[in-house]
Structure 1
Amino acid sequence: MTLPPRFQDWFARQGWQPHPHQLALLEAQGDTLLIAPTGGGKTLAGFLPSLVDLAGGAHRGMHTLYVSPLKALTADIARNLARPVADLGLAIRIEDRTGDTRPAQRARQRVDPPDILLTTPESLALMLSYPEAPAIFGGLRRVVLDELHALTENKRGDQLMLGLARLRSLAPGLQVTGLSATVEDPQALAGFMGGARVLEADPGPAPDIAMLPTASPAPWAGGGGHHAIPEVLEQVRQANTTIIFINTRAQAELFFQALWAANDENLPIGLHHGSLAREARQRVEAAMAAGQLRAVVATGSLDLGIDWGAVDLVIQVGAPKNVKRLVQRIGRANHRYNAPSRARIVPANRFEVIECVAALEAVAERDLDGDPRGPGPLDVLCQHILLTACAGPFEADVLYAEVITAGPYRALSRADFDACLDFAATGGYALRAYDRWQRLMLRDGLWRLRDPRAARDLRMNIGTIVEAEMLKVRFRGRGGAPLGEVEEAFAASLEPGDTFLIGGQTVRYEGLREMVVEVTKQPTRKPKIAVFSGVKLATSTQLSHRVQALIGDPSRHHALPGNTRDWLALQAEVSALPRPGVLQSESFRHDGMWHFALYGFAGRNALQTLGLLMTRMMEEAGLGPLGFLSTDYALLIWSLDPVTDPAPLLDRAGLRAGLGDWLGSNAVMKRTFRTVATIAGLIQRNLPGLRKTGRQATFSSDILYDTLRKYDPDHLMLRITTDEARRGLVDFDRIEEMLDRSPRLDHRMLDRVSPLAAPLLLEVGRVPIAGQGRERLAEAEAAALMAEAGLA
């Protein structure tokens, strides 16, 4: 296929030349993964073969299916495709199919599909579950998978690849194109697609990216970045349009408020994140597209490729946590192939200064991060089997052969497939006596729905995203005063007697009753577990390693600001600098207690788990642990007696045994089980006429979990739950990786607070104080601590 003259003329009328990768993709045979920088015309490249083919006018039915991770992207693509289609006079019908599409249009698409359909993984799974799927997709020629890297980061990607395997069966000869801008391992991503040729475009000019100088230095602790408000506002004044990325929704709200308070000129500035109402998001998107906003404060909701050409600056507030995410966000500025993206980074605290420098070095070296993907999750496969039955009877051998063509499931054993099929059919050994889980039956060699009416319920529960529930915190007793809310993930990690901060008060966890966290006042005790509404994104393993290597090599400290260099120089003098290959720790007295600091660089989840396990071991050793705190880089434990030799507390066998005991008795596993069981179809979130609340779902899952542990401990759902908890929620694999890469322990007994540990102590003491004196008190506390550490 070559570019016809009418298309060449269209490019010329726009003043464009087709990029080499666009022409190469037009001529490509078979499946292709195109990697091109933001603004490089990836989307047009993906659709160009379809437009050229459809211009011939011979095709009937759906020709091209476009799948993206975001509903907002489908709307953006529809707008951008409308222009060349109208200019070229092509009789092509383009429609979207997402959760926002009107029911009447969805129904019509099942009998009269458009030429090009724009959709999401969940909507594709739904369409494939209908008996009309062979008619809808039988004539499909092409599939375009946009922002593919974003879909590999969670189970939505696995769901999509199973759907793609089904499409290949329905439409033999289907040609698939994957599009991505930020890929650390192109061959692995091509393998995820099921095997594809990799086509890499010219990466374009290097980005113009640097830290934003600020009059006030970053604070020693915290994550808001508010010290940089004047400089951020000045950057907004100087640019046409700016996107200000913040890592969490709560921080985005707070930063937006602070920015407006300082916005004396009333510059039009918007807010965009996933918790806002759809109408509010759409208003901001439309205003940005029309050039009516000077800036928008956003979270990951704008990470992906919405094309706003007027954006000429990106500001990242807070450490990016992930080089790939930073590169993706940088690409939102100057969405043009030949113009360098311009971005500035604002570290939120002193430790983030080091992370930002490390991230800038990685961007300059084009060294992206990313962890290898595990095998395709079995709970997603269970859902896929049930949805396949909704579309019609199937033969097990044929479905297994189809599933293993999906990249993530290429190594799936027949035994695991059969276990998933048995679960889908009966619920498994302990549940097969209950009618509600008897969903499939075998007749004449074909598996089919036992009750066709079940298809409606199964379709209502499609998807792999299980929202985190927020639990109310109240003082124990009738009519106890409400204190606020905590994420269920945090509540699940608590045991009776644990103390934590909420609403400026230290409280003691007593138990969970009717999905309410009941607490009692503990005003005289320091919190055992410090709770923050700060950054929840874990720093990638590769970026953590870079930060450790930068800290541990004084010859590279010239890249750091002067006050950071002085901080690290004093740390080397008082104690030691953490460095690769060494697990650095130290003990010192402060505020009448012993403190143990471990610089693990393993991520907050892993170090939170390590804190729970080590404090249990310290309790058994009689050291009197009182509490702990974890950040992405360090663990701080305070106790009555000192840790003089951490080696026994870091014994791998002891940690593994402690993990097993803790998980077995803790609500963490029940929370993970609920997610797994919901995706697999054991628990239904949505029922006809109502949506099951988090409380109802949790009660159901708790009963099921306890039943299976007692009567069927080898049940498939429990096996999946154990694997998920170990890899995800508690991140124990990262603890083992930390021990592997740092085989040597270096422990220092100090006579005072170390410079690196001082900011951690500020985190421990961060109790919200009402009134205008809050910042002054925090500054006074910081000054006193830094003086104690020798940093005054």
Structure 2
Amino acid sequence: MSALPPAFLDWFSARGWDIHPHQRTMLERSDASALLLIAPTGGGKTLAGFLPTLIDLASDTHTGLHTIYISPLKALAADIRRNLTTPVAEMGLPVRIEDRTGDTSQSVKRRQRADPPHILLTTPESLALLTSYEDAPRIFKGLKRVVVDEIHALAESKRGDQLMLALARLQTLCPDMRRVGLSATVEDPPAIARLLARHPDPCEVLLADPGPDPDIAMLQTDAPPPWAGGGAAHAIPAVMDQIERHNTTLIFHNTRAQAEIFFRNLWLANDGNLPIGIHHGSLDRAQRQRVEAAMQRGELRAIVCTGSLDLGIDWGDVDLVIQIGAPKNVKRLVQRIGRANHRYNAPSKALLVPANRFEVIECHAALQAVTEHALDGEPRGAGPLDVLCQQILITACAGSFAADALYAEVITAGPYAALTRADFEACLDFCATGGYALRAYDQWQRLIQRPCGLWQLRDPRSARLIRMNLGTIQDSDLLKVRLRRTRGGKPLGEIEEAFAATLTPGDTFLIGGHVVRYEGLREMTVEVTRDKGHKPKIATFSGTKFATSTQLSQRILDMFAQDDWPALPDHTREWLRLQQQVSRLPERGSLLIESFPHEGREYACIYGFAGRNAQQTLGLLLTNRMEALDLAPLGFVSTDYATLIWGLEPLTDPGPLFDPADLRAGLDVWLMGNAVMKRTFRASATIAGLINRNTPQARKSGRQATFSSDILYDTLARYDPDHLLLRITRNEAMRGLVDFGRIEEMIARINGRIDLLRLPRVTPLAAPLFLEVGRTPVEGAGVERLMEEETRRLMRAAGLDSSQVS
């Protein structure tokens, strides 16, 4: 297929369009088993993915499902349906297009199973659910293509692993199925191609013309950014000025809480009463949809948002993107920049707003990376085994299976190409019995093997429970927020259960840009009323808290190695020069540690540049080692670049603290008794099917799920320490919240070179860490010494001697 049929040529001509070269190449290579198209935002890559399907359906009498489109966002699937419906209707094509997500009604879902549309737009979770039904072979009969949009986003999470296992299942049902991946931001095309293809089959990579470079710069503000914090309140007047100058502005934030704070401050400064909205994943779906619809109609001048709008929804007349706070990741920044001027060969316009002084440096490093087209990303690990356990249960829901055949199918999925048979058998045994310590309990004996060798569900009725708990997204601790009304008020969104537990009636907090007053908890719903007269607390919302990527950290260290920094503003250049005068700047090939006294305490500042999670872990491990060496640490605080530790004794020899073997041993001991492991265990156990959050009767609360998972964790840790779920949990913790890999990378980078500088006072680079929130106390010998000293002081004040007090 290479030429456009007359109807398609006429449709393109009527719009004054010419088919792009990459769209024509997609047509020419439509018979390839797997294709990955990398094209800039606004380059028509979605149409390129669908053109072969539309042409095929226009000239064929195909019945049933022809193409499945998979999106990471429900809103994106709905947006694509609207955009596809236009050419289909205008060309009079006999094509039925529908979407199927968690928002689709049960009646529509039942009809879609009985009578699938030609093109189904869905998400990884909904696709996995469809493959779990006994009639899956009939549902997918005749399937020819699968289009995975924004594949880079799926590749970074367990949702991508789940999707690739579902594609392996589809390929078994439909051997001739073609795979297409679409993205604008891929740092390692061969790696994504291997992920998409049926292993060991190849995947072709098509690179479109990248178009013009974006118009991106730092926003100039009258006031310099503060030394610490993430609210960027200093930039409100300048941002408001930009909103007034542009048609529509997207204002991105890295966290939902920061978006809420900024939206409130922006609204208070909105003297012209311009229409401004807010959008993030914790807001009520109806509110998000209202904002999306208003944006598409061009009714909003600005929208404050988070990653909920990162991906390729067509927002119409957006002509400016503002990133508040350092982007932390170049690839994410490029994706967000592409939301502006969503047209082929039109440069996107974006402004960066550092929220504090150090972020000025990080923003400039990100600007350099964008200019050099240097995307970042961490290497993918092997496919996680908790997702594989879920896939085994999904397969069993659809009917009996042979272990050999399922293993052969699973290793065709890119993330699981290197899966050993031993690990597969361990997952199968877990699904069948729960493992050694749990096999005596009926509730975890879910599979049995028939005399013929096939595996099946022990109780077919358990399929319903498995399907109810399918998925890899963990939102375990969220409570609905509603305005109090006699018969149930308007839903506003969700907050974390832990935050709700801190509220007492009368407390106020921000949600959806509104200040609301907490009235009480009723049937697991937070009831509130509007309250404009009080300063609100800041609600905590579930969502990713980004760590600065390895590439950006290295770029900052390279900037420090320069003699001068002409691109930086004067206040930041002077700050770095002062640091050079009283100490030195960190270097790539060594680890700088500053030791100094301050207000009766001894401080050590470790500039590891390993990302926030790894620096936090480093603080925990180092203070444990310092405790063992009688250095009496009292606490620490971490940022993406440094860890500041304070205590009663000065650090004089850092060498023993950074022995790799001792650090790993300390990590192993710390992890087994730490809440991080229990939190990670709960997530993995839920994905693997050991814990069911949803039941036919009700959904367990976060506290109920935590109680159940903690008991299971303690039982396994005591009686079955080699249990599969504990092995999975340790691996997940090491690369997730703990991020020990970044610590190992730092140790390898410095290669034993540690520069300890003993200084008389706080240094310019360390000063902002004194203003950071999130300090972690160390309860140990240092606290005991302080209590003993306070006791002696009080006794002396009372005229007593320690020997006189029992």
Q: If the length of structure 1 is used for normalisation, what is the TM-score?
A: 0.88
1:677-692 pair list within 5 angstroms: 677-692=685-700
- Residue aligning to 2:366: 359
Equivalent of 1:223 in 203, 226, 230: 230
| Distance (Å, rounded) in 2 between the aligned partners of 1:458 and 1:706 | 24
1:277-356 pair list within 5 angstroms: 277-356=284-363
| Distance (Å, rounded) in 2 between the aligned partners of 1:764 and 1:297 | 24
- Residue aligning to 2:275: 268
**Aligned-residue offset at 1:766:** 9.8
**Aligned-residue offset at 1:764:** 5.8
**Aligned-residue offset at 1:554:** 2.4
CA spacing shift, 1:135–1:650, aligned 2, 3 Å:
same
Per-residue CA distance 1:722-769 (angstroms, 9 max, x = gap)? 1111111211111111111112111111111111011111226999xx
**Aligned-residue offset at 1:211:** 0.3
Q: Does 1:256 align with 2:263?
A: yes
| Distance (Å, rounded) in 2 between the aligned partners of 1:155 and 1:763 | 32
- Residue aligning to 1:407: 414
CA spacing shift, 1:278–1:603, aligned 2, 3 Å:
same
Which SS does the other structure have where 2:472 is aligned? Answer: coil
Q: Does 1:720 align with 2:723?
A: no
* RMSD (Å), alpha carbons: 2.0
Indicate the larger mover: 347-356 or 610-619: 610-619
CA spacing shift, 1:454–1:419, aligned 2, 3 Å:
same
| Distance (Å, rounded) in 1 between the aligned partners of 2:761 and 2:676 | 37
Letter in 1 for 2:189: P
CA spacing shift, 1:168–1:100, aligned 2, 3 Å:
same
| Distance (Å, rounded) in 1 between the aligned partners of 2:436 and 2:767 | 54
Equivalent of 1:374 in 362, 368, 381: 381
Letter in 2 for 1:695: R
| Distance (Å, rounded) in 2 between the aligned partners of 1:641 and 1:707 | 40
**Aligned-residue offset at 1:552:** 2.8
CA spacing shift, 1:682–1:414, aligned 2, 3 Å:
same
Q: Does 1:100 align with 2:107?
A: no
- Residue aligning to 1:82: 85
- Residue aligning to 1:20: 21
CA spacing shift, 1:396–1:306, aligned 2, 3 Å:
same
1:747-766 pair list within 5 angstroms: 747-763=756-772
**Aligned-residue offset at 1:689:** 2.1
1:49-64 pair list within 5 angstroms: 49-64=52-67
Which SS does the other structure have where 1:101 is aligned? Answer: coil
Which SS does the other structure have where 1:690 is aligned? Answer: coil
**Aligned-residue offset at 1:553:** 2.2
Q: Which runs of 5+ in 1 are unaligned?
A: 472-484, 492-502, 504-514, 516-530, 768-792
* Contact map agreement 1:268 1:293 (CA 8 A) in 2: yes
Equivalent of 1:573 in 552, 561, 581: 581
* Contact map agreement 2:310 2:336 (CA 8 A) in 1: yes
Q: Which runs of 5+ in 2 are unaligned?
A: 480-494, 502-508, 510-523, 525-539, 777-806
* Contact map agreement 2:68 2:146 (CA 8 A) in 1: yes
1:668-707 pair list within 5 angstroms: 668-707=676-715
- Residue aligning to 2:534: none
| Distance (Å, rounded) in 1 between the aligned partners of 2:632 and 2:12 | 73
Per-residue CA distance 1:187-226 (angstroms, 9 max, x = gap)? 0000011241000100000000000000001111111111
Equivalent of 1:158 in 134, 149, 161: 161
Per-residue CA distance 1:373-393 (angstroms, 9 max, x = gap)? 000000000000001010011
Which SS does the other structure have where 2:722 is aligned? Answer: coil
Equivalent of 1:746 in 745, 755, 761: 755
- Residue aligning to 1:395: 402
* Contact map agreement 2:195 2:415 (CA 8 A) in 1: yes
| Distance (Å, rounded) in 2 between the aligned partners of 1:343 and 1:668 | 37
Which SS does the other structure have where 1:199 is aligned? Answer: strand
* Contact map agreement 2:497 2:702 (CA 8 A) in 1: no
* Contact map agreement 1:646 1:747 (CA 8 A) in 2: yes
- Residue aligning to 1:543: 552
**Aligned-residue offset at 1:487:** 8.2
Per-residue CA distance 1:550-598 (angstroms, 9 max, x = gap)? 123224x122111111111111111011011010111111122111101
Which SS does the other structure have where 1:633 is aligned? Answer: coil
Letter in 2 for 1:694: G
Indicate the larger mover: 614-623 or 293-302: 614-623
| Distance (Å, rounded) in 2 between the aligned partners of 1:103 and 1:570 | 65
CA spacing shift, 1:154–1:535, aligned 2, 3 Å:
closer
* Contact map agreement 2:637 2:774 (CA 8 A) in 1: no
* Contact map agreement 1:250 1:533 (CA 8 A) in 2: no
CA spacing shift, 1:11–1:294, aligned 2, 3 Å:
same
| Distance (Å, rounded) in 2 between the aligned partners of 1:429 and 1:616 | 33
**Aligned-residue offset at 1:163:** 0.3
Q: Does 1:467 align with 2:475?
A: yes
1:469-488 pair list within 5 angstroms: 469=477
Letter in 2 for 1:579: E
CA spacing shift, 1:283–1:140, aligned 2, 3 Å:
same
Which SS does the other structure have where 1:687 is aligned? Answer: coil
Which SS does the other structure have where 2:736 is aligned? Answer: helix
- Residue aligning to 1:233: 240
- Residue aligning to 1:132: 135
Letter in 2 for 1:551: F
| Distance (Å, rounded) in 1 between the aligned partners of 2:498 and 2:625 | 26
Letter in 1 for 2:362: E
Per-residue CA distance 1:69-110 (angstroms, 9 max, x = gap)? 000001100110011001100111100100000110000111
1:412-491 pair list within 5 angstroms: 412-443=419-450, 444-467=452-475, 469=477
**Aligned-residue offset at 1:300:** 0.4
| Distance (Å, rounded) in 2 between the aligned partners of 1:295 and 1:754 | 40
Which SS does the other structure have where 2:691 is aligned? Answer: coil
CA spacing shift, 1:764–1:393, aligned 2, 3 Å:
closer
CA spacing shift, 1:468–1:568, aligned 2, 3 Å:
farther
- Residue aligning to 1:497: none
Which SS does the other structure have where 1:558 is aligned? Answer: coil
| Distance (Å, rounded) in 2 between the aligned partners of 1:68 and 1:45 | 16
* Contact map agreement 1:223 1:535 (CA 8 A) in 2: no
| Distance (Å, rounded) in 1 between the aligned partners of 2:601 and 2:238 | 40
**Aligned-residue offset at 1:402:** 0.6
* Contact map agreement 1:468 1:488 (CA 8 A) in 2: no
Indicate the larger mover: 755-764 or 378-387: 755-764
Letter in 2 for 1:56: S
**Aligned-residue offset at 1:700:** 1.3
Letter in 2 for 1:139: G
Which SS does the other structure have where 1:448 is aligned? Answer: strand
* Contact map agreement 2:71 2:149 (CA 8 A) in 1: yes
* Contact map agreement 2:66 2:118 (CA 8 A) in 1: yes
Per-residue CA distance 1:8-29 (angstroms, 9 max, x = gap)? 1110101110100001001113
- Residue aligning to 1:641: 649
| Distance (Å, rounded) in 1 between the aligned partners of 2:383 and 2:616 | 27
Q: If the length of structure 2 is used for normalisation, what is the TM-score?
A: 0.87
| Distance (Å, rounded) in 1 between the aligned partners of 2:286 and 2:304 | 17
Which SS does the other structure have where 2:319 is aligned? Answer: strand
Per-residue CA distance 1:326-371 (angstroms, 9 max, x = gap)? 0000000000011000000000011000000000000000000000
Q: Does 1:596 align with 2:599?
A: no
Which SS does the other structure have where 2:86 is aligned? Answer: helix
Which SS does the other structure have where 2:252 is aligned? Answer: strand
| Distance (Å, rounded) in 2 between the aligned partners of 1:445 and 1:270 | 59
| Distance (Å, rounded) in 1 between the aligned partners of 2:354 and 2:641 | 15
Identity %: 69
Letter in 2 for 1:548: L
| Distance (Å, rounded) in 2 between the aligned partners of 1:320 and 1:647 | 34
**Aligned-residue offset at 1:469:** 2.8
| Distance (Å, rounded) in 2 between the aligned partners of 1:579 and 1:324 | 25
